Structure 1
């Protein structure tokens, strides 16, 4: 684990502790401390994904936040800019690694506690920290960040 990935894990955890949901915490830390250019309006897109999309316990909100960060770095603004076949393999690889590392991509599996309880907050803090490190390592490995 690199110094950068350790720092990003801590910063994601700090963002979660300060009141951001899991998706927002990932995006906020990477835009603030890793220089990922996500403006305030784009950041707002992360808000509804916490708790597996508004506490529905579906796809992990932190995974969605990670995908937003990756997409910001490799995505496109128009179909003419680049083909999706250049983007999808990277996000699919991250998804598959995430599932292997954490055992699931579903909030209901990763966070078995009732929302807004001490156990939930403790679990999600630990999980967002680990996911922040995991994303940082992936971005470094792929050469997607120049930090």
Structure 2
């Protein structure tokens, strides 16, 4: 199966997972675990359960967004911190891994930014506002299924694409207000 076929398979599986009873975060992570060799055991899916409905139905970050972050992290996330006797050098390397070009935050930052661009929000309570009084209705489920499908496709694209290119993309909106020009000090940029 080539990468395009894998992306389609992940997208389709995540979509079907929703009608099988998985929550939004589980749908995305399970589809990636099924089609990508992450080196992680199947039980990793347990990590996604609490993210459904914006963390246990609290309505914060959409579970599909969280599931995509978990899925991309399963492949590209750090498993250990940089080791160096010199604490300052270790901190600079850690910052470079996250903020640099390429940098992991550039990759992960694309997930909420792209989904917000399409759906207007990343908070579950905002995305689903019109169904708050009828949570289990069909229209709500169909809407969430579309978000899940898009989040899975985005995660698969980030996982299977060229890592250096993807993690060198400009930052989108972010809490540090980082832009590619003017990032200085502490190894960022």
Name the TM-score class by shorter chain: 0.7 to 0.9
Q: Distance in 1 between matches of 2:39 and 2:26?
A: 14
TM-score by length of 2: 0.66
Which protein shows a greater Rg? 2
TM-score by length of 1: 0.82
| Alignment correspondent of 2:82 | 80
Q: What pairs up with 1:38-117 in 2 under 5 angstroms? A: 38-80=40-82, 83=94, 84-85=97-98, 86-112=103-129, 113=131, 114-117=134-137
Deviating more after overlay: 80-89 vs 120-129 = 80-89
Deviation at 1:128, TM superposition (A): 1.1
Higher relative contact order (CA 8 A, sep 6+): 1
Unaligned 5+ runs, structure 2: 84-92, 165-189
Q: Which has the higher helix share?
A: 1
Q: Would the alpha carbon gap of residues 44 and 142 (structure 1) be closer, same or farther in structure 2, given more than 3 Å must change? A: same
| Alignment correspondent of 2:155 | 135
Which SS does the other structure have where 2:68 is aligned? helix
Q: Where has structure 1 moved over 4 Å in runs of 4 or more?
A: none
Instruction: From 134, 139, 144, give the equivalent of 1:119.
Output: 139
Q: Distance in 2 between matches of 1:141 and 1:43?
A: 23
Which SS does the other structure have where 2:17 is aligned? helix
Unaligned 5+ runs, structure 1: none
